[in-house]
Amino acid sequence: MNFARMLAQATDRHDSLLCVGLDPEPSRFPGAWKGDAGKIFEFCARIVDATKDVVCAFKPQIAYFAGHRAEDQLEELMAYIRRTAPDVPVILDAKRGDIGSTAEQYAREAFVRYQADAVTLSPFMGFDSIEPYLKYDGKGLILLCRTSNAGGSDLQAQTLANGDKLYEHVAKLAASTWNRDQRLGLVVGATFPQELARVRELAPTLPLLIPGVGAQGGDAAATVAAAWREDGPIIVNSSRAVLYAGSGEDFASQARAVAQATRQALQQAKPVRA
């Protein structure tokens, strides 16, 4: 099953626009696990178990595993999600951006080693930095467009010679000439609702991965109002607000409670069908 179909089915089945980001930081683990990088898999697996029926996707961030020499635990986690939540797509948040044989190896890492359903990519080396990933049938490629950090404006908000902002140019390419087999999506931050609405205008049917709700301060209602369309999927990510909702033995149930509340807020923000 390809990424777009998995996403649509998980969104409908779980009545959810919420993606839980898996960003394990051992210094924030609960109780006796605190500081123990050997517990990364177990911590994330508990979060998966607690939230797998209220999300449309999971998004592990590769740096949180690699930084602790825990790539083997990431492999184990990806296999665990496929086994226990096979209907939920997994987006590997890697933000790779290179060309040629190096890009081919990054694609192999994402789709063969980790068996992700989609991967985040930096498009700023052009289409040939994306093309190697298209060899993997059905996999989603989600391109950085207007990111949630303030510093993104240093480049993404710059005006080009044709009058477009750089992020607008990326959105136009992703929605047209680059989207040769309809597998591209865009990363657009919840912290910039006006730009989010503009991207949705330029790319009305592309999946939008939207970080920034929760700990980064993005507003759930404003996000859905700007981006949700019947035929335009949105994947609203929350990481730290869910993962570290509790610091005791009940951390998983606390994570579930926050995930459920966020899911409900997102659903309530959808416009009522006429």
Give catalytic residue positions. 95
Longest CA–CA span in the chain (Å) reads 57
Pairwise CA distance, residues 234 & 187, whole Å: 10
Residues paired with 237 in a beta bridge: 19
Contact 26, 34 (CB under 8 A): yes
Question: Half-sphere exposure of residue 203, counting CA atoms within 13 Å on the CB side?
Answer: 34
- The angle at the Cα of 162, spanning 159 to 165, to the nearest 5 degrees, equals 30
- Annotate 47-60 with three-state secondary structure: HHHHHCCCCCEEEE
